[in-house]
Amino acid sequence: MRHDVKDPSSEIKQEGDDLSCLLARNREWASSKTKDDPNFFSRLVGQQHPRYFWIGCSDSRVPATEIVDLDPGEMFVHRNIANLAVADDPNFAAALLFAVDVLQVQHVLVVGHYGCGGIQAAMAPETHDAVGEWLAPVRSLDHDPADAHQLCERNIIAQVSALARNPIVCGAWKRGARLTLHGWVYAIGDGLLRTICGPITNPL
């Protein structure tokens, strides 16, 4: 009995064809940027002087710079599930250190969003996989089991509070850095940002 065997190269080619639309869109985007502003990309090369550090959720519906109508280079961005500011997470710690000490941003924004899948997962029965472990800080917050909006807002407040105690932030404040912490929430339904807590400035 004969079995048909697929050519692996054809699968690779097919996968590449599926992404060709993204490459085409990239070319169109780059062309439109230079048409409107011929020096757009040349200004970005070799410079990054953002005033803002955005700590947001990985959700693809929450594009950080687009929401606040900023160009690339105007905001440094770190994203993870449920916008956590976990001090002992090396990925987050490295981003925070770079933002505060190297880029010397003036504002750190913790931005959650309503309808967050991470918040919903934290309200579901606990799991013992990577996602379950990551969301443990959210699950520990006091909240109404049926109110995802409330937990989203409490989580934002908790992450801003964690930042205010973070050694990197405290060290910057000790040096007299102009660094302010903010807690915002984004509503996907209307596209608007709202203040949840802050601003918190140098307590020294």
59 assigned to active site: yes
pTM of the predicted structure, to 2 decimals: 0.85
Candidate list 27, 43, 61, 178, residue with the active-site label: 61
Point out the least confidently predicted range of 21-35, 146-160, 163-177: 21-35
| CATH numbers and ranges of domains, the chain | 13-46 (no CATH), 48-200 (3.40.1050.10)
Rounded CA gap, 198 and 204, in Å?
Answer: 16
Q: Annotate 82-111 with DSSP letters as a single string.
A: T----TT-HHHHHHHHIIIIIS--SEEEEE
Write the DSSP symbol of residue 25: H
**Contact by Cβ (8 Å): 165, 176:** no
197 assigned to active site: no
Any binding-site annotation on 182?
Answer: no
Candidate list 3, 25, 57, 165, residue with the active-site label: 57
61 assigned to active site: yes
Any binding-site annotation on 59?
Answer: yes
Per-residue pLDDT of 16-48, as tens digits, reads: 567 899 999 999 999 998 998 898 888 888 667
Per-residue pLDDT of 45-85, as tens digits, reads: 866 789 999 999 999 999 999 999 998 889 999 999 999 99
Q: Which pLDDT band holds residue 121 (cuts at 50, 70, 90)?
A: very high
**Contact by Cβ (8 Å): 204, 173:** yes
